[in-house]
């Protein structure tokens, strides 16, 4: 990399060629004032606060737009520069509230800071001032137009980073303001309330409602941690005052780089919701009563031990959690295996990405995201299939948007016309459940037109001949008849992906939640290997994990067939290692998966169940059956932060801690292990989950002796090779990506470089199989389900966030306008949606987002729970239920409310 040397205030500074003067000054630790500049945005040079004097130049130069040149001599605080900056401040203050230097933004406003720095107490200019009311119409933040300095940062973030374009400059001259189209409210605009404009604002014009009136910046303690929502792993600061979280702001983490979504920025007020559990509860005579910890844990240990003694270890089971830390998931599976004596342990990955773990392990040898989030920007082509990325993983959606701004091409395949479909070069709207056919059709084109990477296939893969033979029959014309995607569109998508130098695939539950989910994942792996798009930067197969620590829960062995680090329970050497470490004899037979547990309860084989941080009464398919099943248990323990729908059925409820109330680690979707820091104490008598598990284990005779989660991670590192070099003291703010086998290993940005984990990548000959339940005369429509931007999973957290709930208080069913017309349904009508398993009443949202034969329901709302309707039939390999395809009928209804 070529460099240039310049002199700033007499100091020699060497910087990469192409740097601006402002960047050079920042590298040298010299603070040059600026208001319109932001490191993620294109330089605009609008505010003129960053002007500097360049020797030999007639005029002052904007440092944010002026390139650094060899031997350039720059003065950042010369008399000319200081006078120019004062003039800018006087002009800004001339049309600014008179209380600027004393308003509550003090200490968190660059305009105030610079005014104090240069001694500008009030403007020397007098004249007309704009007068606008504060816009408080949305539930998330305030817009104070009078404090706006028109720097344009918010406009540019919304355009360049988010790609939403909800706001822009409106009017002209003195009347210029930042506004939505037609100067309406943000509620009426495309705004997604990500809050990144709030972060970018250098003054007090945009203020989160949660933080309003919560104190001056110097009264707030900021604790760095990791967001509790999706699997992106965004780092955040929790703002703490008087023992409470009063606000959230983004940290510059490796996954999010100061970006957040609406939930991460505004959705953490659930932490202090009045419904938080604060004491253990014991059910007596059909109702709960409060109990002491000794009483509750004594009952838990004695009842579970009794069941084990009477019916054997296999009569017990445990569900770990994608919401708690790695250390806590490790202890949960250790408790089940070491104290219960069974491998009947699972968690919600069974409902989302079990097929990713299985499929990628078969094809590549490792069932995790191959590449890093930040690499997305460097891709030449991006293929998004079965992932509504901008709603389910909004920050990764922002990375895709930034890649598109840099010239990347985009292919989207989804049954719904999602947001990214409008930005795609090629959009394929396949029928739900036809992904294998679609992918095979693309690969048929790539083979026929010899667009595949022959060298990669020959040197790094096996099984190609049988795979290629299978593709022969999947011509685009044949595939069109299965998927509904025009043959020409399939060809166009295949060529775009195959011809790219660096192509990356992103997928989520639209691929995995099928009876053919493992086949879908292996087909995606086939496509990546066929084109050589794996094992290199900005390529790969990237499953987007749905919850903050679902990757970590898998890594920790919260699965029925593997110990931590994916070491098989039926491997004698692996089992002996854990037996020696834990001082117990461990079972060798793999346990039951989550869905198999439910069937075993119905059959009377499982009598006791310990659930930590899961809510199967909303998340599982065929909820009517789940409801009846949990009633069949002799003893149910639920450990959570709220009295969830599942906790309401428990015999004992144990109050755990939220993410803000404990230390530990989360592992995000890109395999990055990051520190979680305690910011506040748990409410009442509630405890961090690891402390509860330690006490239960000891009462059941299992040796557990830890004083801090760092000690638990040390034990994990000693037993799981992929975490071998990970310790709390190494993680810092950047974390480490596994595999990280030793203390001197830097972690792994992308997998399978030079060689797959399994040696050679394996092509799998996958054929299309239809979904288990197809529409017919009785149930003529296909139901598919998914997430929405403003809510999360079973709604336990997001529906207790005031802003999120106010913005999206109820569920809906999306119906195509032609289908709605045929049904006699109008937008906003109440309808009945019925499958062979149950019926719900829900409001209709008539929209072209779904095609004529498909309806869509978000699964967050228990009052109209989509999973009352969904099909519990399983993928034979991953044992994941088919949540994405169910046959339903829709009828007009006058009734609203719960499922039947």
Q: DSSP of 109-177, one letter per residue?
A: -HHHHHHHHTT--S-S----------B--SSSEEE-GGG-----HHHHIIIIIS-----EEES-GGG-E
Mean pLDDT, residues 154-158:
94
Residue in the structure block whose two tokens are 């323990």: 637
pLDDT at 896: 44
- C-alpha closest to that of 564 among 775, 359, 406, 713: 713
Mean pLDDT, residues 614-633:
93
| pLDDT tens column, 757-781 | 999 999 999 999 999 999 999 999 9
| pLDDT tens column, 59-93 | 999 999 999 999 999 999 999 999 999 999 999 99
pLDDT at 219: 86
pLDDT at 100: 72
pLDDT at 900: 55
* Residue 653 backbone dihedrals phi, psi, to 5 degrees: -115, 125
Give the DSSP H/E element, type plus range, for residue 630: helix 623-631
Give 137's contacts (C-beta < 8 A, 6+ positions apart): 185, 186, 187
Maximum alpha-carbon separation in the chain: 92
Mean pLDDT, residues 251-271:
95
Q: Is the pLDDT of residue 98 over 80?
A: no
pLDDT at 184: 86
- C-alpha closest to that of 532 among 464, 448, 583: 464
Work out the pLDDT band at 187, boundaries 50, 70, 90: confident
Mean pLDDT, residues 418-426:
97
Q: Is the pLDDT of residue 106 over 60?
A: no
CA distances from 587 to 313, 337, 575, 671 (A): 9, 7, 8, 29
Q: Is the pLDDT of residue 713 over 90?
A: yes
Classify burial at 506, counting beta carbons within 10 Å of its beta carbon; exposed 0-12, middle 13-18, buried 19 or more.
buried
| pLDDT tens column, 495-518 | 999 999 999 999 999 999 999 999
On the CB side of 351, CA atoms within 13 Å amount to 29
Q: Are 557 and 578 in contact (CB under 8 A)?
A: no
What CA–CA distance (Å, rounded) separates 828 from 831? Answer: 9
Mean pLDDT, residues 382-406:
96
Q: Is the pLDDT of residue 218 over 90?
A: no
Residue in the structure block whose two tokens are 């060798």: 588
pLDDT at 122: 87
Work out the pLDDT band at 40, boundaries 50, 70, 90: confident
Q: Is the pLDDT of residue 895 over 60?
A: no
pLDDT at 897: 44
If one counts every other C-beta atom within 10 angstroms of the C-beta of residue 136, the result is 13
- Quote the distance between the C-alpha of residue 809 and its chain's center: 21
pLDDT at 898: 46
Residue in the structure block whose two tokens are 């001032």: 129
What CA–CA distance (Å, rounded) separates 873 from 773? Answer: 9
Q: Which residue has the higher pLDDT, 161 or 211?
A: 161
What CA–CA distance (Å, rounded) separates 645 from 634? Answer: 18
Q: Are 530 and 766 in contact (CB under 8 A)?
A: no
Work out the pLDDT band at 654, boundaries 50, 70, 90: very high
Q: pTM above the 0.85 mark?
A: yes
In the chain, the percentage of residues whose pLDDT exceeds 70 is: 98
- C-alpha closest to that of 493 among 541, 552, 446: 446
pLDDT at 213: 67
Q: What is the mean pLDDT of the chain?
A: 94
What secondary structure does DSSP assign to 68-116, as a single string? Answer: P-TT-EEESS-HHHHHHHHHHHHHHHHTS-TTGGGSTTTTS-HHHHHHH
Q: Is the pLDDT of residue 208 over 70?
A: yes
| pLDDT tens column, 581-607 | 999 999 999 999 999 999 999 999 999
- C-alpha closest to that of 369 among 202, 195, 214, 512: 512
Strand partners, 567: 563
Give 504's contacts (C-beta < 8 A, 6+ positions apart): 371, 375, 376, 379, 381, 382, 383, 533, 538, 539, 540, 542
């Amino acid at each position: 990399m070529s460099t240039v040397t310049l002199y700033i205030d007499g100091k020699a500074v060497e910087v990469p060629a192409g740097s601006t003067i402002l960047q050079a000054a920042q590298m040298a630790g010299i603070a040059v004032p600026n208001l319109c500049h932001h490191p993620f945005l294109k330089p605009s040079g609008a505010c003129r606060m960053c002007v500097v004097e360049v020797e030999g130049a007639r005029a002052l130069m904007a440092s944010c737009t002026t390139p650094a040149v060899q031997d350039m001599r720059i003065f950042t605080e010369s008399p000319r520069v200081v006078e120019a900056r004062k003039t800018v401040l006087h002009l800004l203050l001339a049309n600014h509230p008179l209380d600027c230097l004393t308003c509550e933004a003090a200490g968190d406003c660059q305009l105030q800071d610079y005014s104090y720095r240069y001694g500008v107490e009030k403007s020397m200019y007098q004249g007309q001032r704009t007068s606008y009311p504060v816009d408080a119409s949305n539930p998330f933040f305030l817009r104070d137009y009078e404090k706006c300095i028109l720097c344009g940062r918010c406009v540019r973030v919304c355009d360049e980073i988010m790609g939403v374009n909800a706001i822009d400059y409106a009017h002209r001259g003195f009347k210029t303001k930042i506004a939505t189209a037609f100067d309406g409210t943000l509620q009426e605009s495309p705004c997604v309330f990500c809050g990144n404009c709030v972060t970018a604002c250098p003054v007090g014009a945009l203020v989160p409602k949660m933080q309003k009136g919560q104190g001056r910046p110097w009264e707030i303690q900021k604790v760095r941690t990791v967001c509790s929502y999706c699997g992106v792993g965004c780092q955040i600061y929790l703002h703490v005052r008087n023992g409470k979280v009063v606000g959230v702001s983004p940290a510059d983490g490796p996954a999010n780089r100061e970006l957040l979504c609406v939930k991460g920025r505004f959705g953490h007020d659930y932490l202090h919701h009045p419904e938080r559990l604060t004491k253990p509860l014991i059910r007596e005579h059909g109702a709960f009563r409060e109990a002491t910890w000794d009483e509750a844990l004594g009952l838990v240990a004695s009842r579970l031990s009794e069941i084990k003694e009477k019916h054997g270890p296999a009569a017990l089971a445990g569900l770990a959690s994608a919401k708690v830390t790695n250390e806590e998931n490790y202890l949960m599976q250790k408790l089940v295996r070491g104290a219960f004596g069974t491998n009947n342990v699972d968690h919600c990955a069974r409902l989302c990405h079990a097929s990713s773990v299985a499929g990628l392990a078969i094809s590549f040898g490792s069932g995790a995201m191959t590449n890093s989030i930040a690499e997305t920007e460097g891709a030449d082509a991006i293929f998004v299939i079965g992932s509504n990325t901008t709603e389910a993983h909004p920050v990764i959606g922002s990375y895709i948007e930034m890649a598109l701004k840099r010239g990347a091409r985009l292919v989207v395949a989804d049954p719904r016309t999602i947001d990214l479909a409008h930005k795609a070069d090629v959009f394929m709207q396949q029928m739900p459940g036809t992904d294998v056919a679609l992918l095979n059709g693309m690969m048929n084109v790539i083979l026929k037109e010899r667009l595949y990477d022959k060298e990669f296939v020959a040197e790094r893969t096996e099984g190609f001949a049988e795979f290629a033979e299978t593709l022969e029959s999947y011509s685009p014309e044949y595939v069109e008849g299965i998927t509904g995607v025009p043959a020409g569109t399939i060809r166009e998508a295949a060529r775009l992906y195959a011809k790219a130098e660096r192509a990356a695939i992103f997928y989520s539950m639209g691929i995995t939640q099928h009876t053919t989910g493992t086949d879908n994942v292996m087909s995606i792996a086939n496509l990546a290997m066929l084109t050589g798009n794996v094992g290199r930067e900005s390529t790969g197969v990237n499953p987007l994990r749905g919850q903050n620590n679902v990757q970590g829960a898998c890594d920790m062995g919260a699965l029925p067939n593997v110990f931590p680090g994916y070491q098989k329970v039926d491997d004698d050497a692996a089992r002996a290692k854990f037996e020696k470490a834990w001082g117990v004899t461990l079972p060798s037979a793999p346990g039951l998966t989550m869905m198999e547990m439910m069937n075993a309860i119905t059959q009377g084989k499982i009598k006791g169940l310990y659930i930590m941080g899961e809510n199967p009464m909303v998340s599982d398919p065929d909820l009517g059956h789940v409801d009846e099943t949990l009633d069949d248990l002799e003893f149910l323990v639920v450990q959570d932060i709220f009295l969830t729908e599942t906790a309401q059925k428990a015999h004992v409820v144990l109050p755990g801690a939220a993410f803000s109330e404990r230390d530990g680690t989360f592992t995000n979707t890109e395999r990055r292990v990051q520190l979680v820091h305690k910011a506040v104490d748990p409410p009442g008598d509630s405890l961090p989950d690891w402390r509860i598990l330690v006490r239960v284990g000891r009462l059941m005779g299992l040796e557990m002796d830890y004083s801090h989660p760092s000690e638990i991670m040390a034990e994990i590192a000693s037993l799981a090779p992929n975490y071998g070099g990970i310790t709390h003291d190494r993680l810092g703010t950047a974390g480490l990506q596994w595999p990280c086998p030793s203390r001197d290993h830097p972690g792994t940005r992308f997998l399978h470089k030079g060689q797959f984990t399994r040696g050679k990548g394996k092509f799998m000959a996958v054929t299309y199989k239809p979904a288990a339940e197809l529409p017919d005369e009785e149930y003529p429509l296909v139901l598919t389900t998914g997430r929405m931007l403003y809510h999360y999973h079973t709604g336990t957290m997001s529906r207790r966030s005031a802003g999120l709930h106010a913005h999206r208080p109820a569920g809906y069913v999306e119906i195509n306008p032609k289908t709605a017309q045929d049904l006699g349904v109008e937008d906003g009508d109440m309808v009945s949606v019925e499958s062979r398993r149950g019926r719900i009443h829900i409001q209709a949202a008539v929209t072209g987002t779904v095609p004529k034969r498909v309806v869509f329901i978000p699964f967050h709302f228990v009052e109209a729970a989509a999973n009352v309707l969904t099909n519990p039939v399983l993928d034979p390999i991953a044992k994941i239920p088919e949540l994405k395809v169910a046959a339903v009928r829709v009828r007009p209804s006058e009734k609203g409310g719960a499922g039947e």
